[in-house]
Amino acid sequence: MTTNTSEIDEIKSTPWNGGRSPFNVEYGKMMMWFFLLSDAFTFSGLLIAYGALRFSSVSWPNPDEVFQSAPGIHGGAPLVFVGIMTFILIMSSVTMVLAVEAGHRKAKSEVSKWMIWTIIGGLAFLGCQAWEWTHLHHEGAWWGANPFLNEDGTVASTNFTNLFFTITGFHGFHVFSGVVLNIIIWINVLGGTYERRGHYDMIEKVGLYWHFVDLVWVFVFTFFYLV
């Protein structure tokens, strides 16, 4: 009889028996993961549409010719500016993890410092993107307008610019939302909200979102600028 009871107790103690999170994460963090999974499908949908249209084209504009300028450099410098943008975003991801790490130690001033750097990184990235869009717009590129020729010299369809502005725009909108969220969380850090709460879990949740934005950029960078 005693053996049976202990066996039942053992079964009831499994993580999937109810009463506690089998994933061992806090509710908000789990929901952030599921939101990011759905967002991953959204971005995949956009990038796969790009892939399908590119595969359906005989030729396509060469990214090294389209993206070859940076502030003060008028052409002849492929990948330089997007390299700076990539570096800024990776850097802001690092400052975000450092904020999370400081949050584990409940070091308020350090969390605040790294959040400021992350916000600055996000704003710098948005500034770069604004410059790039303006530059391309001055060259005559916009939704429905494509001044760039295909690699084989034929006139290109507007698929290239439509997809470029839609996908980088959707990503930029995510960066913008991330900066807004980071600012809100930073204000809460300063106000002592998380100190009173006893933990800095919100930094982790907003951090997940921020790293996801970096993750999407890794794919956008490869498929628009390298391939």
Partner 1 sequence: MSADQQHIAHHDEHGSMTKKKIWGVFWVLLGITAIEFFIALVLIPRGVFGQNFANVIYIGLTLLKAFYIVAYFMHLKFEKLGLIYAIIVPLVFIIFFIIWMLYEGNFWMHIRL
Q: Footprint of partner 1 on this chain (CB under 8 A)?
A: 15, 20-26, 29-30, 33-34, 37, 40-41, 44-45, 48-49, 51-58, 64, 78-79, 83, 86-87, 90-91, 93-94, 96-98, 100-101, 104, 197-199, 201, 204, 207-208, 211-212, 214-215, 218-219, 222, 226-227
CB nearer to partner 1: give 137 or 155: 155
Q: 70 by DSSP, 3-state: which?
A: strand
Residue 215 Cα distances to 62, 109, 120, angstroms: 24, 28, 18
Q: Could you tell me the smallest distance in angstroms from the CB atom of residue 212 to partner 1?
A: 7
Q: Could you tell me the smallest distance in angstroms from the CB atom of residue 105 to partner 1?
A: 9
Q: How far is CA 35 from the centre of its chain?
A: 13
CB nearer to partner 1: give 147 or 151: 151
Q: Could you tell me the smallest distance in angstroms from the CB atom of residue 108 to partner 1?
A: 17
DSSP-derived letter for residue 157 is P
Query: Taking the chain, what is the end-to-end CA distance rounded to the nearest angstrom?
Result: 68
Q: Which of 56, 22, 40, 73 has the alpha carbon at shortest distance from 215?
A: 40
CB nearer to partner 1: give 42 or 134: 42
Q: Which of 127, 122, 129, 83 has the alpha carbon at shortest distance from 211?
A: 122
CA-CA distance, 127 to 67, in Å (whole number)?
A: 16
CB nearer to partner 1: give 79 or 183: 79
CB nearer to partner 1: give 49 or 116: 49
Residue 128 Cα distances to 80, 99, 210, angstroms: 12, 24, 18
Q: Tokens at residue 137, please?
A: 């717009």
Query: What residues does 73 pair with on adjacent strands?
Result: 70
Q: Could you tell me the smallest distance in angstroms from the CB atom of residue 136 to partner 1?
A: 19
CB nearer to partner 1: give 3 or 24: 24
Amino acid code (one letter) for 194: Y
Q: Could you tell me the smallest distance in angstroms from the CB atom of residue 26 to partner 1?
A: 4
Q: Could you tell me the smallest distance in angstroms from the CB atom of residue 3 to partner 1?
A: 29
